[in-house]
Amino acid sequence: MTETLAETPQPEAAVRTGVFRRLLKNPLGLTALIILGIVVLTGIFGPVIAPFDPNKADLVNALAGPGTDGHLLGTDSAGRDVFSRLLVGAQSTLLAAALAAVVALLIGLPTGLLAGYFGGKFDSVASWCTNVLMSLPAIIILLAASAALGRSVWISMTVFGVLMSPGMFRLTRTSVQAVRNELYVDAARVAGLSTASIIGKHILFVVRAPLIIQTSIVCGIAIAIQAALEFLGLGDPLTPTWGVMLNEGFINIYGSPILAVWPGLAISLTVGSFVVLGNALRDALEDAPKFKRTKPIQLTPPRTESVQAVDLAAADHLLSVSRLGVGYPQQGGATKVVVADVSFHVDRGEVLGIVGESGSGKSQTAFSILGLLPDEAEILGGSISFDGIPLVSAGGNRLSQGRLSELRGKRIAYIPQEPMSNLDPNFTIGYQLVRPLTRVLGLSKAEATARALELLTIVGITNPQRTFDAYPHEVSGGMAQRVLIAGAVSCNPDLLIADEPTTALDVTVQAEVLDLLRDLQARFNMGVVLVTHNFGVVADLCDRVVVMQNGRVVESGDVRTILRAPREQYTRTLLGAMLEGKTPMSTLTVTEPAPVFDAPVKVGL
């Protein structure tokens, strides 16, 4: 977290127009907007521009084909003009959809806000009602409603709006719950803002976008449902609507199938446009660019030429990383380099610390060795070799997953940072320990169980059987980290990669885990790569240290040399920022540098 501007400034207004522009750029979204525009215009002007009275029967001219006697789309079985009926039908269709959406919003939004913001009893009751409403098949309820309350599109759309309100309610409630515990809402409460202004100023904003999307989708469904009801004969037979027309067409499907085509097309296009618009809106909001960096660090990363010469030297070391570069291809052809020209080695039984601040590329380096970089990542150059086995494929820009899969979980192991999120919550701890032992190391299930219990004892868990049977959410963070360490060392690895293994833990637990790591390292004579930002942890465990900044190695050497007499200014700055041994309340930084807005952007994820 260096004090530099991470992104180029971009005013909020630009972001919003950006959403609309992205919507227009999306061909599906644009088409949907155009179709809906036409439908809305038809809804407004349809009755005026219709060439015939939509209800005027003319039995002589019944079922006339398209084009006869000025009937653009022909006539139906009563001789009424299909085109005019189609134009007039748009209005009631749109109004009915709007009614359903408004009812759904009027019920869902306020209740969702209240339930999400205040929680408590109201939330439980409202959520229960929502669950009930959601478990009712809409059409069945609409049938019952029309049997009881009469056949009117307005009644059925009001009822349908009620049935759709749970969607709005849930959306609002989850959005509100997500922000109500955000610290900026707490800050507003501390500032003494009233609940109403907190909701108006800080919360409603968050709900807006998802509700617009949902409204579009509800409109689409409402039109489909409304047409379905009219198709079933539950509409008002005197109003020309698309559903009634479709019914009429279906009755004559053998004689004049073309009659069903026009209303079918009108319904499908309108419903489809609403649904597509909703999806396109969602995409436009989600694809909001993550603010392009002002300048990419390096467009053309250096390729390593003399890899073979380095590999010869590598043979003596357990792990040898030479001139490694890792990058992420960006839109527009540039590559964001997160690791550049990094070289180091680890010997058997040696602990190497990689130290750096966030964005220094230390974790990316560790994941490269494991072959667990995200799929988008590219190896830009250099080599990694483990016990003489090259891990970067001959082509150069990918890790050799074939060779790595022979090593991972057998000779190379990994301890992650966050203990809780690194255990699968759906399986017992025992299962997660036993499974790799049987699948990867080929132990029998009984052997694996015995070994897992033994490992749990080794990592200092006092009641191994209980932990073995427990699910991850039933143990503490410190315990979970011990379990992960047990899993890592279960294969007797030659090399252990530990990525900030104690950062998420309390200090007293950290001390215990460090003790454990030291014991295990000595016991199995492992080479260890320890990634950390904490010089105390380095001092506790490491033999040698690599200091990284902005994806590059700043300096490396013996732990005592680096900590006591660093050569590089950056290392001195880092050590100088440590509080241990400083006079309390003294100024820590020599001069307070004014934040520089055009400083080079930071590297890293």
Partner 1 sequence: MVSFIVRRLISGVVVLFVVSSLTFFMLYFSATSVARNILGESATQAQVHLKEIELGLDQPLFSRYFDWLGGALSGNFGVSWFNSQPVVESIVGRLPTTLSIVLVTIVIAAVLATLFGVAAAVRRGWVDRLLQIVSIGASAIPQFVVAIVLVTVFAIGLQLLPATGYVPLTDNVGGWLASITLPIIALAIGAVASTAQQVRSAVITVLSRDYVRTLRSRGLAPREILFRHVLRGAAPAGLTVLSLQFIGMLGGVVVLEQIFALPGLGFLALQSTTQGDMPVLMGVVVYIVIIVVVVNLLVDLAVGWLNPKARVS
Partner 2 sequence: MNASTSDQTGPGGLLRVDNLIVEYPGTGFRAKPFRALDDVSIHIGAGKTLGLVGESGSGKTTLGRALLGLAPVSGGTIRFDNEDISQASRSKRRALSRDLQVVFQDPYTSLNPSMTVGDILSEPLTVQGKSRSDARRRVREVLDQVGLPQDAIGRMPREFSGGQRQRVAIARALALSPKLIVCDEPVSALDLTTQARVLDLFLQIQRDTGVSYLFVSHDLDVVRHISHRVAVMYRGEIVEQGPAGQVTTTPEHPYTQRLLLASPVPDPDRQEQRRDNRRRLLDEQRAHDIQAGVAA
CA dihedral 136, 140, 143, 148 (to 10 degrees): -50
CA distance 25 to 295: 26
- Window 146-185: contact mask with partner 2 (x via CB under 8 A): ------------------------------------xxx-
Q: Which residue lies nearer to partner 2 by CB, 312 or 579? A: 579
Q: Which two tokens stand for residue 339?
A: 């690791």
**CB of residue 356 vs partner 2: minimum separation in angstroms?**
9
User: 82: closest CA among 52, 59, 45, 48?
Assistant: 52
Measured from the CB atom, is 488 or 563 closer to partner 1?
Answer: 488
Q: What residue 28 binds from partner 1, partner 2, none (CB within 5 to 8 A, per partner kind)?
A: partner 1
322 DSSP β-pair partners: 383
Query: Considering CB distances under 5 to 8 angstroms, the limit depending on partner class, which of partner 1, partner 2, none binds residue 590?
Result: none
CA distances from residue 20 to 68, 214, 511 in whole angstroms, order as listed = 43, 17, 53
Q: Does 316 sit near partner 2 (CB under 8 A)? A: no
Strand ranges across the sheet with 544-549:
412-415, 495-499, 527-532, 351-355, 544-549, 552-558
Place of tokens 């080599």: 383
Does the protein bind partner 2 through residue 584 (CB under 8 A)?
A: yes
Asked if 580 is part of the footprint of partner 2 (rule: CB under 8 A), the reply reads: yes
Residues near 450 by beta carbon (within 8 Å), at least 6 away in sequence? none
Looking at the Cβ atoms of 506 and 568, the one nearer to partner 2 is: 506
- Shortest distance (Å) from residue 131 CB to partner 1: 8
Asked if 458 and 396 count as a contact pair (C-beta separation under 8 A), the reply is: no
Determine, following the binding rule CB under 8 A, whether residue 295 of this chain makes contact with partner 2. no
Question: Which residue, 383, 387, 415, 389, is CA-closest to 402?
Answer: 389
DSSP state of 424: -
- Residues near 603 by beta carbon (within 8 Å), at least 6 away in sequence: 297, 336, 337, 338, 359, 360, 361, 550, 551
Among 9, 137, 333, 374, binds partner 2 (CB under 8 A): 9
Residue 574's binding partner among partner 2, partner 1, none (Cβ under 5 to 8 angstroms by kind) is partner 2
Q: Residue 362 CB: number of other CB atoms within 10 A?
A: 29
Residues of this chain, 477-516, that bind partner 2 according to CB under 8 A: 506-508, 510-511, 514-515
Q: Of these partners, partner 1, partner 2, none, which one is at the site of residue 35 (CB under 5 to 8 Å by kind)?
A: none
Number of residues that bind partner 2 (CB under 8 A): 70
Site map (CB under 8 A) of partner 2, residues 179-218, x = contact: ---xxx-xxxxxxxxxx-----xx--x-------------
Burial class (CB in 10 A: 0-12, 13-18, 19+), 390: middle
The tokens describing 337, both together, are 């380099």
Terminal-residue alpha carbon distance, the chain: 11
Q: How far is the CB of 365 from partner 2 (least distance, A)?
A: 18
Q: How far is the CB of 299 from partner 2 (least distance, A)?
A: 24
Residue ranges that bind partner 1, judged by CB under 8 A = 28, 131-132, 134-140, 143-149, 220, 224, 227-228, 231-234, 246, 250, 253-254, 257, 260, 264, 267-268, 271-273, 275-276, 279, 370, 372, 405, 408-410, 412-414, 416, 418, 421-427, 432, 435-436, 439-440, 471, 473, 484, 487-488, 491
Per the CB < 8 A criterion, the answer to whether 389 and 405 are in contact is no
The DSSP call for residue 601 is: P
CB nearer to partner 2: give 238 or 585: 585
* Positions 375 through 414 that interact with partner 2 (CB under 8 A): none
Structure tokens given for 247 = 């019914």
Shortest Cβ distance from residue 382 to partner 1 (Å)?
22
Collapse the DSSP code of 72 into the 3-class scheme (helix H, G, I; strand E, B; otherwise coil) and give the result. Answer: coil
**Residue 187 contact partner, candidates partner 1, partner 2, none, CB within 5 to 8 A by sort of partner:** partner 2
Q: Which is nearer to partner 2, 27 or 192 (CB)?
A: 192
Say how far apart CA 433 and CA 133 lie, in whole Å.
Answer: 44
Where along the sequence are the contacts to partner 2 (CB under 8 A)?
1-12, 182-184, 186-195, 201-202, 205, 291, 357-358, 506-508, 510-511, 514-515, 533-540, 559-560, 563-564, 573-582, 584-585, 587-589, 592, 594-595, 597, 602
